[in-house]
Structure 1
């Protein structure tokens, strides 16, 4: 059952956001979800403050309409508050929805909010920020720079591979040093890299899998680094990139950890869930069960009781 009182907040600047606001409000009402307030937000920069004010006003469930960047932007306000997130995926990639097994159509998403179960999932930490899916360095930053609202609105998820091709043509490799404060892995220096990623969730970039065993409830970060390598090695990575199987290749560096510090030469911008909001050097961590979310009754993701389960992944 949804926890009351509930508030609907829709990023009306996101893809399909404005047209879905009224539909979501009406459908939630038909499903018996009582809203103490509903907001269509045209300026996404005001979302964190609005969510914070809404929590302080007593909301126990925030039904949020938007994409991955919308959720990531308010994750610090929701983290460890006990307030439940009901997600209406209205973005382009909707990778968090994929990870959680949520319906991506408006009616199905509203039904999930009204009838789903509440579970706890992890939050990634990058400096003072929080992220749900992936923080990336290298080509992913170039892809973000090539993506523009017009391209995303016209092509949807197809905008990502097109932006990737454009970014690759002008990309320059970089070096990285990875340090592991917990001592679970030896520190390592990596050269001639195309991309380095630190992942909390399972999906990113419009449906690509981080790694075959990645999950948002395993209390671990997946860290991978892709060197430029030979043409054959680059083809192998490209061929298996969407499935995440490329992380099992001998020339790709891949570990799981709870904490890692990343330094690069030259310094690199960090793509945090689709937003360029950090810069190397930076430290990454994970908050176990830091976010409460509504998922379908038959979903296997998440921990239904805080601290009840910890799955070790090898």
Structure 2
């Protein structure tokens, strides 16, 4: 479906929610309101805190608008996705955060003007949504090093360094990391249980990108109806350097110190309860069950985007 067809309807309801606390949020609000308003009657909402974001998204999503345009980082996008999943509302993303991995997966340009134009002139596709014990995530749920990185990624660090904040925070977290053990259980019986020890990180990916442009796995997709599970063992510094070189391509999953498999449901059990990072927000703890909901989220993508290439081929 073309989004322009939806916007041409005189009764189309369009809501714009911009998280002004996001790295580029404050400067983008006025511009985004004007650009979206040139195409449709839009109601704009500025939010300044997490509590205000939740309240605004709850209120806006309850009315099931035709189009919900959300400006912010991946945490903001996940919060919006959780509320419109399974409804007729189309979600459009303006990448205003630091990593913007969901927008990167959808192939939405980083510039606000280009982003608005590409999605409003684009197409509507159906993509999957991940959940950890019911809590939604669009990119990756992870345990271990990524949690420590998230704790170090303060708003001030993001504002000062932008995307460079990720490697800076990662280096600091790596130096203090303590290994952990995990057991992977597969309730659907598609794999035998897996026991893992002395891990650096364990992650379950729904989308394609995470961590500021890293790739979950070479074939990871938002619409393959699968979760990509990977676990990186702690090892020598040389091992981690060789893995780090492959993060952008996703080929690190082929490394001898990395375990990788795909599934539709996995239960992660650890000896002690550990925090779980969902798209940059510490929002769950282990033990945790991770599932994927197929084609439950309607999103606007630029024409030619490969984000939902599998559904397009089908």
Is 1:64 the counterpart of 2:74 in the alignment?
A: no
What residue is the counterpart of 2:92 in the other structure? 86
Contact 1:179 1:188 in 2 (8 A): yes
Is 1:12 the counterpart of 2:34 in the alignment?
A: no
| Aligned mates of 2:205, 2:250 — CA distance in 1 | 12
What stretches of structure 2 of length at least 5 have no aligned partner?
7-11
Is 1:129 the counterpart of 2:131 in the alignment?
A: no
| Aligned mates of 1:19, 1:124 — CA distance in 2 | 31
- How far the C-alpha of 1:104 sits from its partner, in A, is 1.2
Contact 1:95 1:133 in 2 (8 A): yes
Is 1:238 the counterpart of 2:244 in the alignment?
A: yes
Contact 1:33 1:114 in 2 (8 A): no
Contact 2:91 2:299 in 1 (8 A): yes
2:34 aligned residue (13, 20, 26): 26
What residue is the counterpart of 2:295 in the other structure? 289
- How far the C-alpha of 1:290 sits from its partner, in A, is 1.4
Moved more, 241-250 or 190-199: 241-250
Is 1:195 the counterpart of 2:198 in the alignment?
A: no
Q: 4+ residue runs of structure 1 moved beyond 6 angstroms?
A: none
| Aligned mates of 1:113, 1:46 — CA distance in 2 | 26
What residue is the counterpart of 2:168 in the other structure? 162
Contact 1:12 1:18 in 2 (8 A): yes
What residue is the counterpart of 1:262 in the other structure? 268
Per-residue deviation, residues 289-313 of structure 1 (Å, max 9, x unmatched):
11111001111222797xx866xxx
Contact 1:259 1:284 in 2 (8 A): yes
What residue is the counterpart of 1:147 in the other structure? 153
What residue is the counterpart of 1:38 in the other structure? 44
Q: CA RMSD in A?
A: 1.6
Is 1:52 the counterpart of 2:75 in the alignment?
A: no
What residue is the counterpart of 2:304 in the other structure? 298
TM-score by length of 2: 0.93
Per-residue deviation, residues 185-222 of structure 1 (Å, max 9, x unmatched):
11010000000000001111110111111111110000
What residue is the counterpart of 2:81 in the other structure? 75
Contact 1:125 1:286 in 2 (8 A): yes
Contact 1:144 1:274 in 2 (8 A): yes
Per-residue deviation, residues 57-99 of structure 1 (Å, max 9, x unmatched):
3511101111101011222211101210111111110000110
| Aligned mates of 1:156, 1:116 — CA distance in 2 | 28
What residue is the counterpart of 1:112 in the other structure? 118
**Count of aligned pairs:** 306
1:171 aligned residue (161, 171, 177): 177
